[in-house]
Amino acid sequence: MKNTTEDKKVINKLQKDTQEFFLGKINGNLWPYVYGAPQDDSDPVRGGILYNKVLEWEQDYYLYKYEAELFQTKGHLLTSLIGSNATFIELGPGSEQSVRLKTLPLLKTCPDLSGYLGIDISQSFLDKVIEVIHSAFPSIFIDGIQADFTQLKDLPEFGKPVVFFKGSTIANLKRDEVPVFISYIKKLVGKKHYLLVVHDANQDEISLMKAYDNSRVAVFIKNIMYRLYRDVIGEGMEPEPFRYKPEWEPETHELKHVLTATKSQQFELHGHTIEIEEGQKFHTFSSFKYPIEVFQNMLSLTGYKPIDFVLDNSGRIAAHIFAG
């Protein structure tokens, strides 16, 4: 990832979020920082790499596999609702694998696709995305914007824009952030468009726990502490002594990613002394598992009209089309 102005903005927000998190003013706010990249070979910050290990090796982590299957086998049901001459604007397209397994199969079902614009904070991801999409669609408009998709001021004009937000990333936003973010996207596009958004609607605690309560997810979530140590807190903090355990709250459809301190410690953070006690719980962020209707109602409040949705074969992963 290149060090650009956008990355600096992310670091400033990271400092504020870290301070509020450890001062107990806010919790569940660390989702934007989980995919940290190492700065050199000895850097333990490797959230993105650890997440890929979850995808590759964790048999019970179904989200990615089932979403890929959905696009590969039922993508046409979604794109036929959108029709021809669409330009896809993808928020956070992700790795080459993600684009090959999810984005590309979906785009290939589009009748007369007009264009593709990827927006990602990571330039290296974007470069690959553009290469992969261009090799499949050599004659259409393809571009990438390296930026924080929560901080965009404007977007290029397209005839028939489709905002595409895959990977259940929307369900990592805090619940009160979703309408704010979605309203901002609607305003940003500024004209009639479609929103194609994917989330996990699974309410079954057993399969949820199998997916998240395992050693690979634990190492991935625990890595957030290394990110806070490296980019905000520094010497004085011990990032390792935390234990991961997800907690499921069916009433709010919230799977909380909780780290518990396994050792007491004290460190300085921007003029505040932070004291952590052994056994103290930290709610880092959540993966919300909205049932279909809850999700549709939430987006309807922002002015989006639900057109339809398609479920994967397990009935867990939902891909929605909204009209904005």
Ligand X SMILES: C[S@@+](CC[C@H](N)C(=O)[O-])C[C@H]1O[C@@H](n2cnc3c(N)ncnc32)[C@H](O)[C@@H]1O
At closest approach, how far in Å is the CB of 67 from ligand X? 7
Query: What is the C-alpha to C-alpha distance for residues 167 and 207, in angstroms, rounded to an integer?
Result: 18
Residue 53 CB coordination number (10 Å):
14
16 vs 272, beta carbon nearer ligand X: 16
Q: Examine residue 144 and tell whether it contacts ligand X (CB under 6 A).
A: no
Choices 17-25, 119-127, 245-253, 255-263 (CB under 6 A): range interacting with ligand X: 119-127
Q: Examine residue 94 and tell whether it contacts ligand X (CB under 6 A).
A: yes
Residue 182 in 3-state DSSP?
helix
Residue 151 CB coordination number (10 Å):
12
Residue of the chain from 148, 177, 204, 247 that contacts ligand X (CB under 6 A):
148
Choices 77-85, 92-100, 246-254, 271-279 (CB under 6 A): range interacting with ligand X: 92-100
Query: What is the C-alpha to C-alpha distance for residues 44 and 220, in angstroms, rounded to an integer?
Result: 11
Q: Examine residue 105 and tell whether it contacts ligand X (CB under 6 A).
A: no
12 vs 273, beta carbon nearer ligand X: 12
177 vs 241, beta carbon nearer ligand X: 177
Q: Examine residue 287 and tell whether it contacts ligand X (CB under 6 A).
A: no
Q: Examine residue 36 and tell whether it contacts ligand X (CB under 6 A).
A: no
The label of the residue with tokens 């057993």 reads: 206
Residue-by-residue DSSP string for 58-118: -TT--HHHHHHHHHHHHHHHHHHHH-SS-EEEEE----HHHIIIIIHHHHTTSTT--EEEE
At closest approach, how far in Å is the CB of 285 from ligand X? 12
188 vs 267, beta carbon nearer ligand X: 188
Residue of the chain from 149, 220, 248, 309 that contacts ligand X (CB under 6 A):
149
Binding mask 161-200 for ligand X (x = CB under 6 A): -----xx-x-------------------------------
Q: Examine residue 35 and tell whether it contacts ligand X (CB under 6 A).
A: yes
At closest approach, how far in Å is the CB of 230 from ligand X? 17
Q: Examine residue 121 and tell whether it contacts ligand X (CB under 6 A).
A: yes
Q: Examine residue 98 and tell whether it contacts ligand X (CB under 6 A).
A: yes
Asked whether 298 and 173 are in contact (CB, 8 A), the reply is no
At closest approach, how far in Å is the CB of 39 from ligand X? 16
Asked whether 87 and 114 are in contact (CB, 8 A), the reply is yes
SS3 content of the chain, % helix, strand, coil (to 5): 40, 25, 35
At closest approach, how far in Å is the CB of 123 from ligand X? 10
Q: Examine residue 92 and tell whether it contacts ligand X (CB under 6 A).
A: yes
Q: Examine residue 150 and tell whether it contacts ligand X (CB under 6 A).
A: yes
Asked whether 22 and 274 are in contact (CB, 8 A), the reply is yes
Burial of 57 (0-12, 13-18, 19+ CB in 10 A): exposed
Query: What is the C-alpha to C-alpha distance for residues 225 and 241, in angstroms, rounded to an integer?
Result: 10
Choices 73-81, 144-152, 265-273, 299-307 (CB under 6 A): range interacting with ligand X: 144-152
The alpha carbon dihedral of 153, 303, 141, 101 has a sign of positive
Total residues contacting ligand X by CB under 6 A comes to 18
Query: What is the C-alpha to C-alpha distance for residues 301 and 309, in angstroms, rounded to an integer?
Result: 17
Residues in touch with ligand X (CB under 6 A): 32, 35, 51, 92-94, 98, 102, 120-122, 125, 148-150, 166-167, 169
